[in-house]
Structure formats: C-alpha cells, structure tokens
Structure 1
C-alpha cells in the first residue's frame, strides 16, 4: 500500500548544531498558515464516511464484471472506470485519516479509523484477486485492437500492454486469492522490529563529562554525536545506543531472516528467479543497473576516505570513529527562520523557470505544508499526494541549515507530484520510487548554488559544503552500501544457506572494510548497524533507488546548468517533461528521454567525481579559516 499512497522519505544527514526553533505546547497554538488544511480533502467526517461507504458499493459493482472481461472492450472499460473511481476515493479516504493521525498520533479514534481503512483495502485485495488472471486471458492482439478502437481505454494503454510482459508471473485466480490472504501476515516481522525498537526498547543511561545524566534514546544520541565536542561523551553515547541493539542481535537476526524468507517465498510463488528480480521486474529495471551501482560505488570509495581524513585532521583527533562523523567542523550556529528559508528556496529554483517557481510558492502559502513540531506529531519529513486535491508535505522545521535543505528536498517531491497530477490522467499519474528522488535532490543542489553565491561568511560556506558532502555520503554511498548488504543477505536465503547474526555481521563488516578501510577505528559494535536500519525491515530493496536518483539528478543538473543557452533550454524542457510524465512509461525510459542512462557507469562516476571536488573545495575553505 505504501507504493500507492505515500512516498516516505529519509533525510540521512545531520551535521550542524541544534539551534533556536519554534516550540509549541499544543497544536492549537500553531497559526493556521503553518498547518495542513484537511478541508481540501473533505469538509466533514460525514463526507468522508459517504466516500468510505461508496467504496464498498464500487467493490460490489466490480464483481458484476467477473467472467465478462474478455467479451468486449466495453466490459473492460467499464471495469477500469469503476476501479479508477474507487481508487480516487481511496486516496482521499486513506490520506484524510492518515494525515490527521500523523500530526496527532495519540488520538485513538483516528487510529481506529485508520485500521478500518486498512482492513477495507485488505478485503479489496481478496475480492479483486480474479481480475489479473482473467484479464491476462485476453489475447495480446485482441487487446491492441481494443485499445486502438475504444477511446475509454486510451489512458490505460501503458498498463494494459505492459501486463503481457509480466504474464508469466500472473497466477491462477485461486493462487492469487491465496497469496492475498498473506498480505497482512507478510508485514508481521516488520511490525515486530518496530515494537522491539520502540515500545519494548530499554535505553541506557550515561553520565556526561559535565556530570549530567541522560538516557540515550535515538534522539538524544543524535544530539550528542552532532553537538558534543567531547569525543569521550560521543563514545559513551555510541556505546550506550548500540549496546541495546547488540544485546538483541540474535532477535534482530531472526526478525530479518523472517523478512528475507518471506521475500524469497513470495518471489518463488510468482515464478521469479530471485528476490531482486521480483523487486525490479515490475518497473522493468534491468538487474545490471542494480549490480552496476553497488559494484561501481564499492570500487570508488576513495573520496569518502579522503573526507574522513580531512575531518580527522580538522577536529584534531588521534583516532577517528564512526561516532565522530556528525560533529560540526566549525562553531557555525546560524538560525534560519522559516520565512527566510522559504524565500531562499523559492529564489533558488528560478533556473527551472518562473512557472515552476510560482507553483512552488503557491505550495508554501496554501495549507499544503505542516511546518512545526507539536506534541503527538510524528518526526521526520515527507511529501504525499492526493490525486485531484494536492500534495501534503510534513515538516518538523527547527531552524537549522539541515532543515532548510529538507524544505527544498520535500518541495522537490511536492512539485514533481503537482506537475504529474496536472498533466497526467489518474491511470498514469503515479511515478515510481525509482525516479522519485530526482526532483528532490535536484532542488537541493540548486539551493546549494544559491546559498553559496549569496554568502561571504566563510563558516557558512564550510557548513554548506559539509551539508552537500554529507548528502552525497548519506544518500548515495550509504544507501548503496545498504543495497549491497540486502543483496548478499537475500542471496544466502535463495541458496538455502543460514541467515543469522554471525552471518549478517560478517556481511556488514566485509562491506564496511571495502568502503572505509582503515580510515575509521573499529569497535565492538562496528559491524552491527544492520540491527537498527528500518528500511531493511520495512522496505526491502528500496534504498538503492536513493542512489540511482542521486546519480540521475546530478547528470540532469549538469545538463540544465552547463553548456550553451540553447543546450540548457533543451535540457530543461526534457527535465520538466519527465516531471510531468508521472508514470506514463518505464522509469528507465523516462530518464533516458531526459538524458540519463543508468545502465552505464558514467552517471555513477559523475557523483563520485562531484564528491571528490567538493572535498577539495572544503579543504580550501578550511585553510582560509586557519589563516
């Protein structure tokens, strides 16, 4: 359901000291202009209830077409029309509850409604299990004729014809129905991970060098390793944080083995050769793209080690550990008020045209953004669309430079969704995760350019370069490392070999050695980060797309900003066309039309070279401070 209803995003870098921000004791205290406007979806719960009930009616209507799809193009068009109406309501029904629950997680009434919607979708999966097997029985030649002759099928052409490419993975009605029964069970291991890592986790207490006692929760840990200049304090926080995961390593391994085995069972049931094939083939992504990414990056990690050596020197450390990777290189602590951040982001996207800039400005003024933290609101940031309404964007803005870039990042997603929804029918509006991070990271690069061109403060320039470097390491290198780990772990399951704590720790250690070599010191906990990375447990084979998107946006950014005026204009038109295309073609094809071919190593190497240049530039700026 996550592929349909939301794009959840992770901002993986944080390199600046926490500073002043807006603090509200209750959500009611927050001015309306900084909160989501839910009435754009429904003006009342009665209206919501009406659509919820209408979805059940649509389900019944769908059943009347069973056994009749192959009789005529009119029957097929009738089914697709009802199904589309149902899904449009589903977006609204689900998100109206989900968004409100997101900013008020203590509200049990909302949680109950959310579960009600989730059960409805589980029922929908069971009652519609017959559709794909029956549809695939229509001969391909017949389908081509129907699509050409019946205007009502025009919007569905891409999906209908692509169905035959995946024909061998469509099972019988009974088998599809049987698999649908396991849709909720398959998520159990992920839920166990969440419970163990949050509700049942007993975090340890430490005493810092100033005598202060703190319980090292994930949030506190992040604050200490980012802000505390004392390496011993950072070490204590690191050891306390990882020790609670280390003590449960066998449980985490058992949970992950359950996920890997479920993935392998699902892949075999659908007649795929591997778990990776099962994840990639739906979007027609060649396996070589995945393997090219992990192999090319693993062989080109020198810029990462060069950055670590630079940090070690600047921080004056005899030994450098992983927990030293977030502490700031300067005492830069500038506060960025939200209104100023919005203005800077708006100005930064001018290279994408005044129309794009105007649409982005509207997004910041129209109840699309939920800006500040409030009690009961979930953390992080995301952008999720509601077709026929507009995207909704979550923030927990805190005034740091990191969050200025988060704002630009999420607005990139919001604009991608806006342009796709404005230019595509419902059938092809949804773009895949494979291209989702292109617009967000592109906008981050535009913001970096704008801020670098508009500051003379050497410390701010260092902070900006560090921000950019950490974004590449966190979004490109780290996610590729994670993708390599997932591939190796799943390969073991496919070979019938054990997947346990010892095995998983060795996989992680071998990859980490390849990435970091001797640049960082080893500890007892160095090879156990696999225990606490949520994507492994919630979204297998997801993270590689952060890296491929980063590579794509780097190439597109270069095309749009370099070359002759004519070349830049043509590149911009290709890029905006990609954003407007939604999901009307395979993601690899959309990127190729825009000017990126991920089957080749060049886009990957371009990011690696960019990191190398940024590290050199940072070294120059740091020398200026020393002088």
Structure 2
C-alpha cells in the first residue's frame, strides 16, 4: 500500500478552502469573542417575550447567535477532520462545542416563555405581518404546545433525560466492548479474527463455507447474550412508552413522527406498498439463487458477489466529468452550480495521514457548502461524490433562496437530493454501457441498493412497529417473542426461494438503529422519493426539473411532506414507492435478459 501523504504534502487544488469561513485564526478568535458578548445579552429578553417587537428582536438575536456558533463550530471541526491528530484543532473543536452548549443554555427560556402565552396571543403573533419571517416557527411552537408540560414537570423530565440514554448506552457497551466473536477459518483454512468490521467482508466472500461459518459464529455469539439484549431493547421500548404517555401522544409511533409532522399514513403506506411489491424481491431472490448456482439460497448468500468483480478504474477527474454528464437532465443552472463546487474549494478529495474516514457534506449558512471525501479511483467513490454533491447543492440552493431559519432542511428530506443524483448517474451509466459484464455489475450494484435501502429498512421499520404495539398492549418482549417476530418477517420478505436460516431470528440483537426508534423508515422513504424524482425528471423533462429545483430551494420552510408534495412527490400516497418499485422491476428484467 502507498504511504499516506501528510496533510501539508497534498496538492492544494484537491483540498477545500476553509478560508472562505474565516480568513485566519485571529478572525475566528475575534468572532468567538463577539458571539460570547451576544450570548450574554440574551438574558435581557427573559420575562419580556409578550410583545411583537420583543419576540422579533429575540428571534433575530437567536438566529444571529446560532448562525455564528454554527460557523465557528464547522470551521474548527472541519480543520480537525483534515488531521485528527492535530492538537490545535482538537482544542478548538472543544472550545466551539462549549460555546454551542452556552448558547443553547442562554436561549433555553425562549420556547417555554412563548408557549406560556395564552392561545389567542400566540395566534395574534402568528398572523402579525411584523413577525412574518417567523410565522412557521410560531406555528410549530403552537403545534408542540399540546405536548409541553408544566415548568415543574418539564424540569423533572429533563432530569430523567440521562436515565433515558441508558438502554442505548448499555447496548453500545455489550455490542462494541464486551461482545467477542470466535476466530473462524478463512478459505485457506487459516484461523482469522471475526469482528463487527470484518463480518460484512466475510459475507461478501466468494467462498460459501466461509460465509456460512461467519454467519453462524456471529448469531451463536449473540444468542449467548439474548436475555440481556432482549431486556435492553425492551427497556428502550418501555422508555418510549413512558415518554409518549407523559406527553399525551396516542402511541410511540405518533410521538416519533410528530416532530417532522409526518402523518401516520406515511409509515403504514410504506409498509403496505412494500408488502404488495414483495413478489419483486422474491423474483430477485430467485435470480440471485440462479446466478450463484446454488440448490438452496441461504441468508448468508445475500451479500455474496453475483458477478466477478468488474474493475472500473475511474480517476477523480473522470468521475467529475461522468457525474456532470449523468446530471445533464437537471439543466444548465444545476450544472453551473456543480461546476462551481468542483472549481472553488468546496471539496477535500484524497485521504491523508490522520484524516477522518468516510465522506460527508457540511457547512454553515452564509458561505458555500463543503464536501469531505477519501476518494479512491473506483465506482463506489464516484457514487459517493455524486451523493455528497447532491447534499451540497441542496444546501446551496436552500441557503441562497431562504433566510437562515427556513434554510435548514429536515433529516426526512436530507437523503432525497443526494440519492436523486445517484439515480440519475446510474441511469446514465446503464444507458451508455455496451459491455454485458459491466452492465451486469452496475445492475447488481443498483438492485442491491433497493434490497438494502428500501426492503431491508422497511422490514426493520415493520419490526419496530410490531414490538412497540406488543408492548403497548402490555405483552412482554422476551428473547423468544422478539426472535419469532423477526424470523417471520424474514420469511415473508424473502419469499419461497430463500431457505431462511433459524439463526437470522437473532439479528434484531445486533441492530443499533433499534435504539433510535422509528428512524430507519426515512432511508426507505428518502430512497423512494429520490427514485420517483429521477423517474419524473427523465420522463417529463423541464416541468419535472422545475419542480425539483423548487424542492431544493425550499429548505425547511414548510413541513417536509408539503415540500415534497409541491414538487410532485406525495409521500402520503403509495405512488412514489410504486414508482421506485417499477424502476426495481425494470432492473430485474434487464438482469434476467442478460443471464439468458
């Protein structure tokens, strides 16, 4: 392996330009001192938020502080990510974190004080033109009011906050610190270590014996801890029920969806529409069985490579050009913004010594977004660049169109723009591919994204719904009950061509997302919305592009579901998921034709 370069040895043109946030360290220090001063003035509003003008001035101060804290934090953190061993930026990040905590504490009186006002006064604020910039914020506050308790009760709940983290913390300790997997034999008969990190690599191993050994070893290890982990997951569910009862929600599911104002139908629609589309997944399982040439398809065959690794060497320069070609359907305006991102110091491209792993898009309102990559010359890295630039351009459009408060989009919307870019790029690559091997490689890559992001995450979402319903009825979540529910879901989802191994019944015990309840469905809805957008853009052209750019410019200025609906994707109906499923169906048809 090539020796990694030190940060200072890398080429500046492949590194982001953080001077666009602060020209120098002394500018950062000066801004820090100014924000500290502003934070100290917040207390002057306490007890006075009962007039239109005082609310307006207080919100303006809140925005000013939040925006500057965010900018200070992003600058420190991104410098730290360039080289995590650098002590200067470790200290700076801590300093920025403390400032963020101070700001939150200083402004924590704002919401409770406004909520303590009588409803008619709140309504008058909402309709007052002086507060028009804050209308959505005030409407949101009023909507939350039904679930906010008295000052004493809220203080008590805040103290319970630490306790409520316990199930997740305990699971993290069992899973990451205490869980030890046995060593297993690799394809050469050599004893190798099995870890969380290497497990997926073992499941991708072309050697079936190795896959089976890793699979059994992992679930036998979890089975030894089943009582403890079931008790931990059950405690998490009971914690959720406690909060939903105290805050007067009809159910935990409705409490979880309330923040983003997502109707319950969106959740049940996703599950119902995926159920009606399960024959497609069953068809894909049958195809997988045929391609692997096995008599029985097992759960440990799900990640096995279907085609020989097709070597696609794609330099960073080629990746940028290919993405630009793939995103042509989005029009000149979008391509110009993409090019600006390429050319003006948005992107940190290559790995260097001490650099944070992975990839992300981030930034602060008032400057352009940034993208961190660890680019390798392969297909995966090209899709990562397309994905992260989707996030970046979503922020770019929102920030340019809206004021600070309205520009921040929700997690529910966050994955839509990034995945739309991937879908358009994939469509372009499939259309121009002439090599059957390359085409098959691309098709399996895409089909597996549908399997893991839409079907698997929906199965997780259904499992969460079922276990909460059981507990809400007063039934206990024993290890056996959890395993039975989980096993039956796997049977249903994978269909007749899958020999569903008993061991998979223990998989619930290793999914950390179950401690962040009713979250995973957003992966499936985001992917479906993106696939629906890309389908409309490719089939309708300009009208769909205009709607899509309107979506990018909407930030968080309305409820997520309304923003998508205005752009032509109504997530409260089955339509977008059905559109995504029709794309999945076309992929399977193409794969079946190539294997004839």
Q: TM-score, normalised by structure 1?
A: 0.87
Task: Report if aligned partners of 2:362, 2:392 keep a CA contact under 8 Å in 1.
Answer: yes
The answer for the alignment partner of 1:219 in structure 2 is 197
The answer for the alignment partner of 1:330 in structure 2 is 307
Tell me the CA shift for residue 229 of structure 1: 1.9
Deviates more, 1:333-342 or 1:389-398: 389-398
For CA contacts below 8 A with separation 6 or more, give which structure has more relative contact order.
Answer: 1
Aligned with residue 135 of structure 1, among 98, 108, 114: 114
| 1:302 partnered with 2:258 | no
| 1:79 partnered with 2:58 | yes
Partners of 1:438 and 1:393 lie apart in 2 by 17
Aligned with residue 95 of structure 1, among 74, 81, 87: 74
1:175-194 correspondence to structure 2 within 5 Å: 175-183=153-161, 185-194=163-172
| 1:361 partnered with 2:352 | no
Tell me the CA shift for residue 26 of structure 1: 4.5
Aligned with residue 583 of structure 1, among 556, 561, 569: 556
Deviates more, 1:118-127 or 1:412-421: 118-127
| 1:540 partnered with 2:509 | no
Deviates more, 1:185-194 or 1:422-431: 185-194
Partners of 2:255 and 2:212 lie apart in 1 by 41
Q: Deviations over 1:540-589 (max 9, x none)?
A: 211111211222222222222214xxxx3222111101110101111111
- Stretches of structure 2 that go unaligned for 5 or more consecutive residues are none
- Stretches of structure 1 that go unaligned for 5 or more consecutive residues are 1-20
Partners of 1:108 and 1:197 lie apart in 2 by 30
Name the SS of the counterpart of 2:498 in structure 1.
Answer: coil
Aligned with residue 230 of structure 2, among 235, 253, 260: 253
Partners of 1:89 and 1:350 lie apart in 2 by 36
The answer for the alignment partner of 1:9 in structure 2 is none
The answer for the alignment partner of 2:134 in structure 1 is 156
Deviates more, 1:456-465 or 1:372-381: 372-381
Deviates more, 1:318-327 or 1:412-421: 318-327
Tell me the CA shift for residue 446 of structure 1: 0.8
Task: Report if aligned partners of 2:487, 2:502 keep a CA contact under 8 Å in 1.
Answer: no
Partners of 1:211 and 1:579 lie apart in 2 by 53
Q: Deviations over 1:401-443 (max 9, x none)?
A: 2332222222211111111111110110111122222212211
| 1:407 partnered with 2:385 | yes
Give the aligned CA root-mean-square deviation in angstroms.
2.7
Task: Report if aligned partners of 2:299, 2:501 keep a CA contact under 8 Å in 1.
Answer: no
Task: Report if aligned partners of 1:408, 1:443 keep a CA contact under 8 Å in 2.
Answer: yes
Tell me the CA shift for residue 470 of structure 1: 1.1
Partners of 1:52 and 1:142 lie apart in 2 by 36
Tell me the CA shift for residue 146 of structure 1: 4.5
Q: Deviations over 1:338-364 (max 9, x none)?
A: 221122112211111112112112223
Deviates more, 1:508-517 or 1:366-375: 366-375
Name the SS of the counterpart of 1:78 in structure 2.
Answer: helix
The answer for the alignment partner of 1:619 in structure 2 is 592
Name the SS of the counterpart of 2:214 in structure 1.
Answer: helix
| 1:58 partnered with 2:35 | no
The answer for the alignment partner of 1:67 in structure 2 is 47
Name the SS of the counterpart of 1:164 in structure 2.
Answer: helix
Partners of 2:35 and 2:219 lie apart in 1 by 46
Q: Deviations over 1:125-154 (max 9, x none)?
A: 555443223212445554555465554x23
Partners of 1:120 and 1:243 lie apart in 2 by 46
Q: TM-score, normalised by structure 2?
A: 0.91
| 1:268 partnered with 2:248 | no
Q: How many residues align?
A: 595
| 1:237 partnered with 2:210 | no
Partners of 2:231 and 2:96 lie apart in 1 by 30
Tell me the CA shift for residue 293 of structure 1: 0.9
Q: Deviations over 1:499-544 (max 9, x none)?
A: 343332222112111101333223352122222223223x321111
| 1:510 partnered with 2:488 | yes
1:597-608 correspondence to structure 2 within 5 Å: 597-608=570-581
Task: Report if aligned partners of 1:253, 1:531 keep a CA contact under 8 Å in 2.
Answer: yes
Partners of 2:354 and 2:169 lie apart in 1 by 20
